[in-house]
Amino acid sequence: MTSAPLPTAAGPRPQLTVHRLGMAHPGDLSELAALFDAGAVAADEVVAVIGKTEGNGGVNDFTRGYFTQSLMQLLAQRTGRPAEAIWRELPCVLSGGTEGVLSPHYVVFSRRLLPAGETHAAGIGPEGAHYTPPATGTDAKAQASADTGAPTRANGAAPGALAIGTAFSAPTPAQDIGRWRQVRAVAQAVRAAMDQAGIDRPEDVAFVQLKCPCVTSARAQAAAAAGHAVLTADPGRSMAFARAAGAFGAAIALGELPDDPALEGALLQDFDRFSARASVSCGVEVEANEVIVLGHSARWQGPLRMGCAPMRDALDIAAVGQALRPLGLQAAPQLPAAQAARVAAVFVKCEPDRRGQVRGARHTMLDDTDINAQRHIRGAVGGLVAGVLGDGRIFVSGGAEHQGPDGGGLVAVIAHVG
């Protein structure tokens, strides 16, 4: 499961493969098992998973733990390694809540070393078939550049192929959640993931996905018994502080914020400070800060690239186009089927505007006692992005504190270029 060191001389080079798979229920890993059986992916090549389950997305959303347990059991069966050992080294970032047209699914990232210029099918298209980028005419030239991992900006794509790195912080004590110690732990883990991926410059990072622990009643009581004070014993509030700390940690590693402990007071206060490339989830099912870094590196090969754009508010449909454009994709107003087949995965972060308005019009998401505000915003923004892409298999996560502009968020897309 852990990634081997990147090659330092001519020879085999890593290639990232991304598979977007459906699930019939939160414990359904049958599509991944089928990939293993077919030899399309080996279990020990899997390095990270990001998914959407059909829970409520709150503190007591146990669909995330159910999926994680099922995944670790499957990987343990196929690798012969203990499930707990895999759980401690393979990030599994899950967001509950598939409101509206959002479809439960999970994205599997795998890493394989291949001879330079030799590529492996890099993903699964919407109909379940492997997508192979065209290799004729000028596309063949662009594809050859992409397959060797040589720097290229074909169709405006970033130089180098898509790369992945992962890292875990040490387990985070309840008393550290939402404090600068957590911020620094996340920053250190993001840097470690960048180093593992062979991404030398922060500007080459396209997207950072984190999963952070929160304070439960039991964890708060255990901390108090040990003589420690938690920032808040309210589980929901602790999730917000954990996400904020995760965003600040990523921002420090990416050069978007300075490492200044005085900024601890800005958490959940100064929303002009944010990371434009970080998405942070939080849950009871993790003990440490789990980090997945995706970016571009000339040390990698393959046809995948990634675009990311901030959303200024919940109606910012132009941001979706901005994320698609560097990948050679254009929605007018929806992606054509041929272009949609090139999309390997989509990640969205969103937040109900705390000022109670969207472009001057009042919204009621924050005042609805029947439906949680985060469920409102996931359904709304999920529908907007799904309409552009023509696909409901989108990772949409609420709770975007300091992740993109206040009241907005971000959208990131992985696609085949050619």
- Give the residue numbers marked as catalytic: 211, 281
Name the residue type at position 284.
V
For strand 105-114 and strand 46-53, is the pairing parallel, antiparallel, or unpaired? antiparallel
Residues 4/5/8/11 CA torsion (nearest 10 deg): 0
Three-state secondary structure string covering the chain: CCCCCCCCCCCCEEEEEEEEEECCCCCCCHHHHHHHHHCCCCHHHEEEEEEEECCCCCCCCCHHHHHHHHHHHHHHHHHCCCHHHHHCCCCEEEEECCCCCCCCEEEEEEEEEECCCCCCCCEECCCCCECCCCCCHHHHHHHHHHHHCCCCCHHHCCCCEEEEEEEEEEECCHHHCCCHHHHHHHHHHHHHHHHHHCCCCHHHEEEEEEEEECCCHHHHHHHHHCCCCCCCCCHHHHHHHHHHHHHHHHHHHCCCCCCCHHHHHHCCCCCCCCECCEEEEEECCCCEEEEEEEEEECCCECCEEEEEEEECCCCCHHHHHHHHHHHCCCCCCCCCHHHHCCEEEEEEEECCCCCCEECCEECCHHHCCCCCHHHHHHHHHHHHHHHHHCCCCCEEECCCCCECCCCCEEEEEEEECC
Structure tokens at 89: 């080294």
Instruction: Collect all residues with Cβ–Cβ distance below 8 Å to 106 and sequence separation of at least 6.
Output: 20, 21, 23, 32, 49, 50, 51, 52, 67, 94
Q: Phi and psi dihedrals of 136, rounded to 5? A: -130, 150
CA–CA separation, 187 vs 394, rounded Å? Answer: 27
